[in-house]
Amino acid sequence: MASIFFSVLLALSVLSSPFLLNANAHTKLGFSADLIHRDSPKSPFYNPTETSAQRLRNVVHRSVNRVVHFNGKDASVNSPQTEITSDGGEYLMNISLGTPPFPIMAIADTGSDLLWTQCKPCDDCYTQDDPLFDPKASSTYKDVSCSSSQCTALESQATCSTENNTCSYTLSYGDKSYTKGNVAADTVTLGSTDNRPVQLKNIVIGCGHNNAGTFSKKGSGIIGLGGGSVSLISQLGDSIDGKFSYCLVPLSSENDKTSKINFGTNAVVSGNESVSTPLITKSQATFYYLTLESVSVGSKSIKYPSVSDSYGSSGKGNIIIDSGTTLTMFATDFYSELEDAVASSIDAEKINDPQNVLSLCYSATAKLNVPVITMHFDGADVKLDSSNAFIQISEDLVCFAFRGDDQLAIYGNIAQMNFLVGYDTVSKTVSFKPADCAKM
């Protein structure tokens, strides 16, 4: 997907003194960050002329488009990189590359791996508002060789130049967007709200010299937070014990509180009300797969299909958890049964969504007695609040934040809001704990 698996403006609060960290060192880290939604006034994507309802409607449309990009219908099934979305995600990350630090703003994506940005010289690049990164201006930048482990980690995404033994990469996205350039290693600096930045040495990055497609001029690349070997999470590795977590403030929150992302010792999710479910590894290591057994609406339990379906999600690891997709997506037949159960529990007149994106909607002025919806993951029951189930997408319309889609099953971010969601890529678990994210 392209991305946590939201886009993130990252301002880190590091709980230690300033230091330089080699990404391969065994130094243990614990730090936290603010996640700023792309529609926040703090985001470069913010459009002050849009109403709150228009922004919510746009969120829904981006969510639907992200699934199309995930699927990559025109892409080879043997090329995992083709199933990444080029401009997905709901959060931005503000980091710096090189020495001296050069700030970039990029989409933070739990659905992709490589951290890449547009670089000088740009032979054929999309229009970008911010200046381009100049690798020649960084004293710590170095291209990696074809025989290096950094190059081989990219597998089919990497190619080699016989002239200078330099490793190159090509990433093609489901919507035919692409980025091509040099595989390099450089220092990555994560900005800090308390002016104590974390600097990570020798991080593998992509320096894009030929990039085109649907990328936004507001961003300057993608920061991969997926499960693959070259993602930022994997490169931080032992230093964060493979742990990160986030707590997402509801979209309806009218205060100025931001969501949070945590790494390492700060990312542990434990204590009362915390539940954990296995993180399933599949051939596409980028994505975080969980196993959904059933969904209950009040006392009615609806078993999630265990037989193979058109999008190949059956048995263990039948749903992707993604912070960059707003809606929760289920196979059409299962979704229809779920919608019927929810609708039969609500005593109100249904209203059609004029844009036909969501199929269960009510008047925003209606008093809805939303039934308790519980997601029954393998070993973890996650009870949703009404704000996890319904979203107001216009001034007069409230809709069920789930959708039928036979391309992919995705557990989206609305269902995750006001939960502390922790990923442990070493113990292979994802944990959930109810929380008031605005107070964290």
Residues marked active site are found at 109, 322
**Could you say which DSSP state residue 354 is in?**
T
Tell me which residue has tokens 């449309």. Answer: 61
Q: What's the rounded Cα separation, in Å, for the pair 436 and 254?
A: 14
In sequence order, the 6+-apart residues with CB closer than 8 A to the CB of 83 are 1, 69, 70, 71, 72, 75, 174, 284
Q: Do 187 and 97 meet the contact criterion of CB atoms below 8 Å apart?
A: yes
Residue 174: closest CA among 220, 112, 243, 225: 112
Locate 411 and state its tokens: 């557990």
Residue 269: how many CB atoms within 10 A of its CB? Answer: 23
Tell me which residue has tokens 């216009």. Answer: 394
Q: If residue 386 lies in a helix (H) or strand (E), which one and from where to where?
A: helix 386-389
- Is-cis flag, bond preceding 41, omega within 30? no
Strands 198-212 and 116-118, sheet pairing:
parallel
Please list the alpha-helical segments (H only) found in 42-189.
52-71, 149-152
Locate 201 and state its tokens: 């040495």
Which residues, in sequence order, are bridge partners of residue 263? 31, 244
In sequence order, the 6+-apart residues with CB closer than 8 A to the CB of 207 are 116, 117, 119, 133, 135, 141, 181, 182, 183, 184
Sign (positive/negative) of CA torsion 331, 334, 337, 343?
negative
Q: What's the rounded Cα separation, in Å, for the pair 14 and 11?
A: 10
Locate 32 and state its tokens: 């936290």
Q: Do 146 and 167 meet the contact criterion of CB atoms below 8 Å apart?
A: yes
Please list the alpha-helical segments (H only) found in 117-263.
149-152, 232-236
Which residues, in sequence order, are bridge partners of residue 373? 297, 384
Read off φ and ψ for residue 260, nearest 5 degrees. Answer: -130, 145
**Chain-centroid distance, C-alpha 372:** 26
Q: What's the rounded Cα separation, in Å, for the pair 403 and 327?
A: 7
